[in-house]
Amino acid sequence: MLPALLLVAVLAVLAVFQIALALGAPLGRFTFGGRHPGVLPVGLRVAAALSVAVYALMGTLALDRAGVIAVYPADASRIGMWVVFGFLVLNTIPNAISPSRSERLVMTPLLIVMSVLALLVALG
C-alpha cells in the first residue's frame, strides 16, 4: 500500500504544478522541453490542465490496485497499472533528453521514482 500512497502523493504535487502552469505560473522551463521558459501559451496551458485528469486516473488506478479503494474491476486496475508503468517509463526518455536543463534535472529523476513506485504497485 505504501508505494501506491507515495505515487499518489507525487501525482498530487504534479497536479498542483500543472494547475499552476494552466493558471499562468511562469514555470514553463520545467515542461514541454522548456520551449516556453516563462508562461506557457494557451494551448499548452490547456494541455497542462488536462494532464490533471490523467494524474487523477493514474492515482485512482494505483489506489484501487493497492486495495485502498474499490473503483475498477480487478483486471482493469491490474492492467491499468502496467499501462501507467509503461507510460511513466516512456515519458522518462524525452525528459532525460530534453533541451531544458531544468526539466532534465527535476522531471527525469521524478519520473524514475514514479516508474519504480508504479512498478511496485503493478506487481501488487
Query: Looking at the whole model, is its pTM more than 0.85?
Result: yes
Q: pLDDT category, 12, cuts 50, 70, 90?
A: very high
Q: pLDDT category, 18, cuts 50, 70, 90?
A: very high
Secondary structure of the chain as H, E, C letters: CHHHHHHHHHHHHHHHHHHHHHCCCCCHHHCHHHCCCCCCCHHHHHHHHHHHHHHHHHHHHHHHHCCCCCCCCHHHHHHHHHHHHHHHHHHHHHHHCCCCHHHHHHHHHHHHHHHHHHHHHHHC
72-117 pLDDT per residue, tens: 998 999 999 999 999 999 999 999 999 999 999 999 999 999 999 9
What's the pLDDT at 46? 97
Tell me the mean pLDDT in the region 31-39.
Answer: 91
44-65 pLDDT per residue, tens: 999 999 999 999 999 999 999 9
Domain borders along the chain are 2-123
What's the pLDDT at 22? 97
Q: pLDDT category, 30, cuts 50, 70, 90?
A: very high
What's the pLDDT at 55? 97
